Chain A
Amino acid sequence: MTKAQSLWNQGVKIGAIGGVSVLIISLIGMVESFGKRDIIAGVLPMGVAIALIISILAAYMAAKKTPISDKSIQFANAVVSGLVISGFLAAFVMIGRSFNIREMLVGASPVLYSILTGGVAGAGGIFLLLLTGLLCGAFAGILYMLRDLPRRLTVNALLTIFILGLLQELILPILKAWDVGMINYLAGLFYTLNGLTPVGAILSVVIFCILYLLWNANQGAIKSKYAALPKEARKKSQIAALIVLAVILIVLPQFLGLFLSEVITIVGLYVLLGLGLNIVVGYAGLLDLGYVAFFAIGSYVVALLTSPQIFAFGLNFWQALPIAVICGILAGVMLGIPVLKMRGDYLAIATLGFGEIIRILVLSDFLRPWLGGAQGIGSIPNPNLFGFQMVKPQHIYYLLLAGIILVIFISLRLKKSKIGRAWMAMREDEDVAQAMGINLVATKLLAFATGAGFSALSGAIFASKIGSVYPHSFNVFISINVVCIVIIGGIGSLPGIVVGAAVLMGLPELLREFAEYRMFVYGVALVIVMLLRPEGLLPEARHKMEFHDETEAGAKTVA
């Protein structure tokens, strides 16, 4: 390979990767189905925005990976990779328009071609596509050459538009709920019913830039001022922050409509599940892929005890709840005993099987007289608190909030306790943990039991929330979702789980188009997180240290 070739190697290579990526998301229909939702109304559909983001990212990488630090070459490399990406797409559009490839590739529709060529027919569209690629590359190249502050400012401003546009369905109803003239006016100024208005987009960039620059100029002063505060004052400000957070959490459902409250209760259920699995996976290091089993057990116990169908025990939710949790704990121990000797992958597979066994048992005709079979169990009454019927999702929200706070409290206490230390040692090295005098059997069973209890609690609330339970609500994807939440949020980190649940469960509910690509997006998200941020979005301090200890240790020795 000559030197001249190797200079352009990265641009072409990364361009090709980017091109294939955009092609894939186009062909699986993401660009088309996301094309219906606008980030900026009438200007930028979301599908196009995603394709642009990938292109710019690829071109930026190409500039970054250029072997020599000559600015013009770096810029040129970015442009080359942008052109390669659009070249891929242009070739695809031309082939698709001349031959019928739809028989093989269902996603290759005329609508997609029209989106990719900006709605311009014929050669003009192809030209426009190539020009867009060129501009993406040039933009990325300029971005790479900018100094740190303007670069961060540009990237974050663009992200702000993207996120504001994306979360329209979240933000708009909240604003409308106030029904105050001023806010209504603002809502109308910023949002149409489909995406930001162009004025709104420009305004949000301006507002964001001002805030960002203000923060940037003053953050050092604010931080040092905070650090200079006496310890008591700092503690006071932390308590104040906690109180503000508590107030927000308490009044939140009043501002959310029915739909958003529903979304937030789903997130809440998964936060509970995530907190439970975090004990098993995060604290004790036991990879449990059958976690849905305990969720199912909690649900079915509440269903059997409170529903008038099948047995008609006639208990109310509060009487059934502790029984459900106890059953979950017992099931946790029952699962734990046979898998005591298993580690790592073997444990994961065995627990995966356990999860399926429970679902299939519930589904079976054999147990139909007792568990309802495929028809499930219905007419589960809503929880009743001192005569107050918890019907709406807003009411369930408070129930979940109480449960989550309780579970967070227990998790924090356990972590600092002797049991928490035993889990930590076991996670690191079972043999040595035993050599330290840790009873592996008891410690493992306790982890399974605690996690299972939390999961059953979530299941119990789930059953009374939706009023009926069916076997198919408890498939393996729930376990996978929870594992993803724990890993993407940051293993062992409680705030990470809340963020993970909000991102992985909340976003797909808000972006209905996503639902179809949920597993695809999870897969991509997992790979990206593992590559770029293996400790998770909001990692526990310890794991942060673990993944970045080289630099820190280095810094320490220098100091």
Chain B
Amino acid sequence: MAMLELRNVHAHYGKIHALKDISITVNKGEIVTLIGGNGAGKSTTLKTISGTLKPSAGQIFLDGEDLGAYPAHEIVTKGIVQVPEGRRVFGQLTVLENLDLGAFTSKDKKRDAGTIEKIFHMFPRLAERSKQLAGTLSGGEQQMLAMGRALMAAPKILLLDEPSMGLAPVLVDSVFDTIKALHAEGTTILLVEQNARMALKTASRGYVIQTGKVILEDDAKKLLENEMVKKAYMGD
């Protein structure tokens, strides 16, 4: 059964019809990617999932439960956690405080301590700088912190919004390595990316979204070979 399912979702910003009949499914243990150009509706889709933007029509299910009635902060407790676009770490708080806030909804202090251990093991740079203000970290380190912070909430499914944005190519590789590592540990991931090639290489399935509509969905491998996708999103 699908873990996350968007069923015919529409969304509006005022009068602007931003999402038109979007249907997406993510199964447990998958990496699914959502690719598309600027303004195609990728981030809007994530917003409807995390509940900060309520769909004007259609439904969103997590493990079969309709999320429509829940406010954004409760959806987090259901297990959908987002790593926002542009990282957006709390720059004036320390690395440790950032991680701590990631576990805001958690009541299990022992588990949180374990998760912090795990995150520090995964990102040794964060451990070295745990007392430093997050704003003083480099872009790559901030991306690690943003992911670590999201992991603190023990997500069932992780929504990654353009994790490679504004990073040097070397760091982009390491971000995608991290995504693979998280996946290997059993985290389900919905990955929104402009870097279509990297995203499709990492994901198992992909959706192509254009002007608020899903225009293509297929296995990631096949999308990589697709002439239209190559032309439009990979610059070939």
Contact = CB atoms under 8 A, between A and B. Distances in A.
B71 interface: yes
A429 interface: yes
Interface string B208-222: 000000000000000
Interface in A430-486: 431-440
A549 interface: yes
Contacts of A196: none
Interface string B38-57: 00000000000010100000
B55 to A, nearest CB: 17
Contacts of A438: 73, 104
Contacts of B90: 424-425, 428-429, 432
Contact of A428 (B74, B84, B91): B91
A432 B52 CA distance: 10
Contact of A434 (B73, B91, B97, B100): B73
Interface in B83-131: 84, 88, 90-93, 97, 100-102, 104-105
B76 interface: yes
A435 B84 contact: yes
B50 A435 contact: yes
Contact of B104 (A429, A437, A546): A437
B72 A435 contact: yes
B52 A434 contact: yes
B81 interface: yes
A489 B199 CA distance: 50
B226 interface: no
Nearest to B80: A435
Contacts of B133: 545-546, 549, 553
B135 interface: yes
Given A428-B92, A432-B88, A421 B100 contact: yes
B217 to A, nearest CB: 26
Contacts of A63: none
A435 B158 CA distance: 12
Given A425-B90, A429-B90, A440 B73 contact: yes
B8 interface: no
Contacts of B105: 436-437
A366 B21 CA distance: 55
Given A429-B88, A437-B73, A549 B101 contact: no
A549 B91 CA distance: 11
Contacts of A556: 132
A408 to B, nearest CB: 23
B9 interface: no
A208 to B, nearest CB: 38
A546 B105 CA distance: 27
Contacts of A428: 90-93
B68 to A, nearest CB: 17
A425 B84 contact: no
A510 to B, nearest CB: 36
A438 B103 CA distance: 10
A422 interface: yes
A434 B72 contact: yes
Given A425-B101, A437-B77, A553 B132 contact: yes
A542 interface: yes
B92 A421 contact: no
Nearest to B102: A436
A543 to B, nearest CB: 8
Given A425-B101, A437-B153, A542 B92 contact: yes
A435 B76 contact: yes
Contacts of B74: 437
B101 A436 contact: yes
Contacts of A432: 84, 88, 90
Residue in A432, A437, A556 whose Cβ sees the most chain B Cβ within 10 Å: A437
B52 A422 contact: no
Contacts of A421: 97, 100-101, 104
Residue of A425, A428, A431, A542 with most chain B CB atoms under a 10 A cut-off: A428
B174 interface: no
B60 to A, nearest CB: 16
B136 interface: yes
Contacts of A436: 76, 101-102, 104-105, 149, 153
A518 B82 CA distance: 50
A439 B100 CA distance: 16
Interface string B158-170: 0000000000000
Contacts of B50: 435
B81 to A, nearest CB: 7
A439 B71 contact: yes
Contacts of B93: 424-425, 428, 542
Contacts of B52: 431, 434-435
A388 B229 CA distance: 85
Contacts of B153: 436-437
A547 to B, nearest CB: 10
A195 to B, nearest CB: 46
B84 A549 contact: no
A435 B102 CA distance: 9
* Most-contacted residue by chain B among A432, A438, A553 (CB, 10 A): A432
Nearest to B72: A434
A556 B131 CA distance: 11
Nearest to A543: B92
Nearest to B90: A428
A424 B97 CA distance: 10
A425 B71 CA distance: 18
Contact of A549 (B73, B102, B136): B136
Contacts of B84: 431-432, 435
Contacts of A549: 133, 135-136
A437 B92 contact: no
B13 to A, nearest CB: 15
Nearest to A439: B73
Interface string A539-559: 000100110011001001000
Interface string B174-216: 0000000000000000000000000000000000000000000
Given A424-B97, A435-B52, 12 more contacts: A421-B100, A421-B104, A424-B101, A425-B93, A428-B90, A429-B88, A432-B90, A435-B50, A435-B76, A435-B82, A437-B73, A437-B105
Interface of B: 50, 52, 71-74, 76-77, 81-82, 84, 88, 90-93, 97, 100-102, 104-105, 132-133, 135-136, 149, 153
Q: Which 5 A-B pairs have the closest CB atoms?
A: A437-B76, A437-B105, A428-B90, A439-B73, A553-B136
14 contacts: A424-B90, A428-B92, A428-B93, A432-B84, A433-B101, A435-B50, A435-B52, A435-B81, A436-B101, A436-B102, A439-B73, A546-B92, A549-B135, A553-B132
